[in-house]
Amino acid sequence: MTDRRTVFLACPYGQIGGGMGSIMAYLASMQQDPTGRFDFKRLETRGGGHIALSPLFLALAVARIWLEASRGRLAVVHLNLAERGSVFRKAVLLAATRLVGGRVLLHLHAAQIMQFHAAMGRPGQSLLQWMFRGADHCVVLGEVWRRWVIDQFGVRPARISIVYNGVPATLAAQRTACADAPFRLLFVGNLLERKGVKDLLRSFAGPSLKTRDIRLTMAGGGPVDFYRAMSAELGIADRVSFSGWVSQDDARALMVDSDALILPAYDEGLPLVILEALASRTPVICTPVGSIPEVLQDRHTALFVTPGDELGIAEAIATLVDRPELGAELSAAGAALYQRLFTMEAFAVSVAAIYASLTPREGGTSRSVWPPVQEVSDDSGC
């Protein structure tokens, strides 16, 4: 017999660069927390098929939570919160967990949650407020989100922790400069306007990059045919390849084989693709949005460009092409930063500490229906 209790990890089907979907899957693959106190179990809330099947997956998730609670083994339900339908699915799971006396960790990773909240209307905004106040503890990706949750929903600082994402280590290849080899530039993520895809393609077609031997790979799902046609119109189809959706393993292989990652997005949380680039010793060009400028430093661990600045994007690419020594410096500094902050082990230790603070070893395992949320003693992230 084991005295380990269960932590359910709500893991949606994620595509490449799937943010929290990927990191929760990484965590679930560990099976246990670093202390051996908790068993990790994946909890699917939507499914990868037609949206009409989502209620079935949600009902099964509720049933699993209640079954584990009836066995006295439920510790925490760890809910990652995105926009749109994710809000309503996670609200159901939060309510179901609290009804059986379980503890809820609400993990905010949605890059556009502020805009989504503003557009929801009064009922939707009230629902989000209830969720943030009703969760036992909240995790956010950085100070900008922590401040927003405090100001917008009135959540006390002691009930919010900043936990940076983590990614598994990568066996990075040693990059060597080769005069006759093209510079390999990589974009990873869904091909969306908010990711700056049009800006990137227009920059790549600009006069400062036309004469340079650069190959751009666009890895990710979305309107691939639209952007492929745009590349043809811009006259860069022979220098840009679109791989479509790729698996996480294939994306990491592309990362290792590239000379730089570029993500000129308009809004982000703390993208896993950037952390995977750091782990792969791949230099990064990105925009200082979301929590990115809290952890990366311009011209030390990344090259920053302004969202929508096509000339600036082209200049940053040209800089890395012309100055391989700068790429090497970014690579080394980024790898060191990854080892300090963004390993999967560091992430697991941080969230396990929160699980432990929510589930003391002694005392009862059940609580009254809809009890007031108690503050945990841990005040990390304040």
How far is it, in rounded angstroms, from Cα 353 to Cα 34?
10
In the chain, where the domains are located: 5-166+344-358, 183-341
Residue partners of 150: CB distance under 8 A and separation at least 6:
156, 157, 160
pLDDT, tens only, 61-76: 999 999 999 999 999 9
How far is it, in rounded angstroms, from Cα 97 to Cα 208?
56
Q: Residue 378: helix, strand or coil by DSSP? A: coil
pLDDT the model gives residue 268: 92
How far is it, in rounded angstroms, from Cα 46 to Cα 244?
23
pLDDT the model gives residue 374: 35
pLDDT at 370 over 60: no
pLDDT, tens only, 341-362: 999 999 999 999 999 999 976 5
Model confidence at 20, pLDDT cuts 50, 70, 90, reads very low
Neighbours of 198 (CB within 10 A): 18
pTM for the model stands at: 0.85
Confirm or reject CATH 3.40.50.2000 for domain 5-166+344-358, answering yes or no: yes
pLDDT at 231 over 80: yes
Model confidence at 19, pLDDT cuts 50, 70, 90, reads very low
Rounded mean pLDDT, 198-223 = 95
Contact at 8 Å (CB) between 150 and 162? no
Number of helices (H) and strands (E) in the chain: give both, helices first.
15, 12
Please measure the distance between the N-terminal and C-terminal CA atoms of the chain and give it in whole angstroms. 39
Instruction: Tell me the residue ranges of DSSP E strands in 270-381.
Output: 284-286, 303-304
Dig out the tokens for 327 from the structure: 């790429």
How far is it, in rounded angstroms, from Cα 38 to Cα 45?
21
205-243 b/e (C-beta count within 10 Å ≥ 16 → b): bbeebeeeebbbbbbbbbeeeebbebbeebebeebbebb
Structural element, H or E, at residue 184: strand 183-188
Question: β-pairing, 240-244 with 160-162?
Answer: unpaired
pLDDT the model gives residue 358: 94
pLDDT the model gives residue 45: 81
How far is it, in rounded angstroms, from Cα 27 to Cα 345?
9
What letter represents residue 152's amino acid?
A: Q
Tell me if domain 5-166+344-358 and domain 183-341 are identical in fold: yes
Dig out the tokens for 334 from the structure: 């980024």
Model confidence at 380, pLDDT cuts 50, 70, 90, reads very low
pLDDT at 365 over 70: no
Task: Tell me which of 29-38, 236-245, 274-283 is least confident.
Answer: 29-38
Residue partners of 163: CB distance under 8 A and separation at least 6:
139, 140, 141, 347, 350, 351, 354, 381
Q: Residue 182: helix, strand or coil by DSSP? A: coil
Highest mean pLDDT among 14-18, 255-259, 364-368: 255-259
pLDDT the model gives residue 49: 64
Rounded mean pLDDT, 314-327 = 96
Model confidence at 109, pLDDT cuts 50, 70, 90, reads confident
Model confidence at 85, pLDDT cuts 50, 70, 90, reads confident
pLDDT, tens only, 257-297: 999 999 999 999 899 999 999 999 999 999 999 999 999 99
Q: Residue 317: helix, strand or coil by DSSP? A: helix
Mean pLDDT of the chain: 88
pLDDT the model gives residue 84: 83
Model confidence at 110, pLDDT cuts 50, 70, 90, reads confident
pLDDT, tens only, 114-126: 999 999 999 999 9
pLDDT at 144 over 50: yes
How far is it, in rounded angstroms, from Cα 9 to Cα 33?
12
Q: Which fold has domain 183-341?
A: Rossmann fold (3.40.50)
Rounded mean pLDDT, 29-39 = 89
Model confidence at 382, pLDDT cuts 50, 70, 90, reads very low
pLDDT, tens only, 153-172: 999 999 999 999 998 888 76
Rounded mean pLDDT, 300-322 = 97
Contact at 8 Å (CB) between 141 and 162? yes
Rounded mean pLDDT, 319-336 = 96
Tokens 């680039």 correspond to 277
